[in-house]
Amino acid sequence: MSRLQLVRRFDPAPITTVLCDADGNLFPSEQPAFDTSAQITNRFLVRFGVPERYTAEQLRKSATGKNFRTTAVDLAVLGGVPIDPALASGRPYARIATSADVAAGHALCADELKDWVARERRHVTARLVATLRPDSRVQHALRALAARYALAAVSSSATARLDACFTATGLDDLIPAELRFSAEDSLPVPTSKPHPAVYLHTAEVLGIDPDQGLAVEDSVAGVRSAVAAGFVTIGNLMYVPNAEHGVRSRELMDAGASAIADSWSALTLYLLSLQASAAVAQPFPCRLNG
């Protein structure tokens, strides 16, 4: 049975647009993506002499909601790799590369990071194209929502990966390419959730105020990103492993989610029922005789 738990009350009346996270929310891409990404991540760590290695499951639990660019730099900093000053923003413990580090090939520079990001993107995208299939539960829910709301996708993932996933899952017509926003590619400087930049950019392009958008996210990083941008956010557990529902629910609540749904069906029924109730509550226009 589909369920939704309300955590914080919100006013549905101003909402015109549903902003959907993509990976792990619109399609079950997390596991196959991390299976492949872990291989690239470990090669990256070998390149820089970092001894730690990560399984797909370890990466999934620690990096869900973030893109490879951010994860790679975070792991490099954790491993003591000297990095380009341009990559150190927001990382106070980063070891800044010297000219000697760069000359010796020991430093992570922006150009090499770009190459690793492109490599990971190619491999993961190919895996997702071969793995993902349409899910009628998501399609039906989005079609029902589209009758009342505008829809957009807001993701940390690269545009090429998003486009491939939307095609593979049959969602191209519901959220076309021009309504997909990528923290990797849509911004002047690539970033990742939990930074709110991609949500702020989406709002600017769509011309909506924070109270006009409602975000749907499955990850802590995603909820923090949307909430920091001012959007009411619902946590969606549909593709979260059942054994993790309890922990993930609490984490999403703590991150600022206003409600937690266990499926797109529950989320859609709740939103449409709110709109129906609000419509009934509206007073009928009348003329005053005087």
Location of structure tokens 């990559």: 87
pLDDT of residue 37: 97
Provide mean pLDDT across the span 72-96.
96
pLDDT of residue 144: 98
pLDDT at 267 over 80: yes
Distance CA 259, CA 223 (A): 11
* pTM given for the model: 0.89
pLDDT at 157 over 70: yes
Distance CA 26, CA 220 (A): 16
Q: Is 237 helix (H, G, I), strand (E, B) or coil?
A: coil
| DSSP secondary structure string for all residues of 77-129 | HHTT--B-GGG-TT-TT--BPPHHHHHTT-SB-HHHHHHHHHHHHHHHHHHHH
pLDDT of residue 227: 99
What is the four-CA torsion angle of 244, 219, 209, 186, rounded to 10 degrees? -150
Confidence of residue 133 (pLDDT cuts 50, 70, 90): very high
Look up residue 161 and give its two tokens: 């990966």
Helical H segments across the chain, by residue range: 30-47, 56-63, 68-78, 99-103, 110-131, 136-146, 159-168, 197-206, 220-228, 245-255, 264-281
Q: Is 209 helix (H, G, I), strand (E, B) or coil?
A: coil
Poorest-pLDDT segment among 16-25, 112-121, 266-275: 266-275
Residue type for position 219: S
pLDDT at 281 over 80: no
Confidence of residue 276 (pLDDT cuts 50, 70, 90): confident
* Structure-model confidence comparison of residues 148 and 279, the more confident one: 148
Provide mean pLDDT across the span 266-278.
88
Chain mean position to CA 66: 7
pLDDT in tens, 100-126: 999 999 999 999 999 999 999 999 999
Residue 25, C-beta contacts closer than 8 angstroms, at least 6 positions apart: 216, 217, 218, 222, 236, 238, 239
pLDDT at 97 over 50: yes
Provide mean pLDDT across the span 18-24.
98
Provide mean pLDDT across the span 230-238.
99
pLDDT in tens, 181-190: 999 999 999 9
Question: Bridge partners of 281?
Answer: none
pLDDT at 284 over 60: no
* Structure-model confidence comparison of residues 78 and 284, the more confident one: 78
Domain with CATH 3.40.50.1000 in the chain: 4-29+134-281
pLDDT at 287 over 80: no
Q: Is 66 helix (H, G, I), strand (E, B) or coil?
A: coil
- The average confidence (pLDDT) of the chain is 94
Tell me which architecture the domain covering 4-29+134-281 has in CATH. 3-Layer(aba) Sandwich (3.40)
pLDDT at 215 over 80: yes
Residue 116, C-beta contacts closer than 8 angstroms, at least 6 positions apart: 40, 44, 68, 72
pLDDT at 251 over 90: yes
